[in-house]
Amino acid sequence: MNPTQRPAQAGTVYLVGSGPGALDLMTVRATRLIGEADVVVHDHLIADGALSLLRNDAQAICVGKKASNHTVPQNELNLLLVRLAREGKKVVRLKGGDPFIFGRGGEEIETLFEFGIPFEVVPGVTAAAGCAAYAGIPLTHREHAQTVTFATGHLKDGSVDLDWSALARPKQTVVFYMGIGGIGEICRQLIVHGLPATHPAAVVQNGSSERQRVLIADLATLPEQIEKAGLTSPALIIVGTVVSLHRKLAWYQPSNWPRV
């Protein structure tokens, strides 16, 4: 048997990605491990209904943080995982999307490594893949983009510290996670570094869920349109000429949510 197909082991931490939002976009392995866990330590943003898969006698601990409100400091959280594993529990550390993409999964399992705690990693559908699919915006396309870059738009000290010249190169798609707060600066920098103000840009809020909203604009108008439409986190920004394909390829209409 492939070792990763074994039932969950006592004293092990499973770092599990829950995908972009819809429960059935979670992997079969993630679903199984959640059902076997003694304790699930989870973020705020996880697949809708994932906790309903827990055994009745299992414990759920929310360590969720929103951008400005770090409920559990990262080092405390790392040590919590160590403690739970040392108590002999089957521990699932459940995150949104993929645990190795802007998920601090690396930091958590580095601590486990240092303490000699066994761990496994279960990948998930990252928000970029989920949002792109459900917004009908292919991230690569032979006529549009041969490169795709994932960047964080999270502001540190009021500025986004990124290699703007690289992000403004043509023939690529750039996806910004956590970009809503810094959207004005992101669009401004991309234009300053050479992209036309008319370069297509989109926002996908709550991608892949029933609450998905998609806004299509360009670099010049995106910030004000986001404000007008009242779009908030969790949202992903997609910049590139692939965004123009949305007009033809948008196939998903959430049944009970207005289009922007």
φ/ψ of 76, rounded to 5, equals -65, -40
Q: Which stretch binds ligand SAH (CB under 6 A): 47-55, 71-79, 97-105, 240-248?
A: 97-105
Of the candidates 28, 34, 33, the one whose C-alpha atom is nearest the C-alpha of residue 60 is: 34
Q: Are 214 and 204 in contact (CB under 8 A)?
A: yes
Tell the smallest beta-carbon distance from residue 209 to ligand SAH (Å): 6
Here the tokens at position 172 are 């690529």
Q: Which stretch binds ligand SAH (CB under 6 A): 56-64, 96-104, 135-143, 190-198?
A: 96-104
* CA–CA separation, 81 and 39 (whole Å): 10
* CA–CA separation, 240 and 196 (whole Å): 11
In the bound complex, which residue of the shown chain has the CB atom lying closest to ligand SAH? 97
Amino acid at site 36: E
Tell the smallest beta-carbon distance from residue 26 to ligand SAH (Å): 12
Q: Rule CB under 6 A: which of 204-223 touch ligand SAH? A: 204-208
- Nearest residue (CB) to ligand SAH, 78 versus 126: 126
Considering only 187, 234, 239, 243, the residue that binds ligand SAH (CB under 6 A) is 234
Q: Rule CB under 6 A: which of 142-201 touch ligand SAH? A: 177-178
Q: Find all residues with CB under 8 Å of 194, minimum gap 6, and list them.
A: 165, 168
Q: Does 236 bind ligand SAH (CB under 6 A)?
A: yes
Angle at 50 between CA 48 and CA 53, to 5 degrees: 145
Which positions are annotated as active-site residues? 43, 65
Q: Rule CB under 6 A: which of 2-21 touch ligand SAH? A: 20-21
Q: Does 126 bind ligand SAH (CB under 6 A)?
A: yes
Q: Does 235 bind ligand SAH (CB under 6 A)?
A: yes
Place of tokens 């992101």: 186
Of the candidates 151, 197, 203, the one whose C-alpha atom is nearest the C-alpha of residue 172 is: 151
Tell the smallest beta-carbon distance from residue 132 to ligand SAH (Å): 10
Q: What is the edge-to-edge ordering of all strands in the sheet holding 213-218?
A: 147-152, 172-177, 235-239, 200-205, 213-218
- Nearest residue (CB) to ligand SAH, 37 versus 235: 235
- Which residues contact ligand SAH by CB under 6 A? 20-21, 45, 95-98, 101-103, 126-127, 130-131, 177-178, 204-208, 233-236
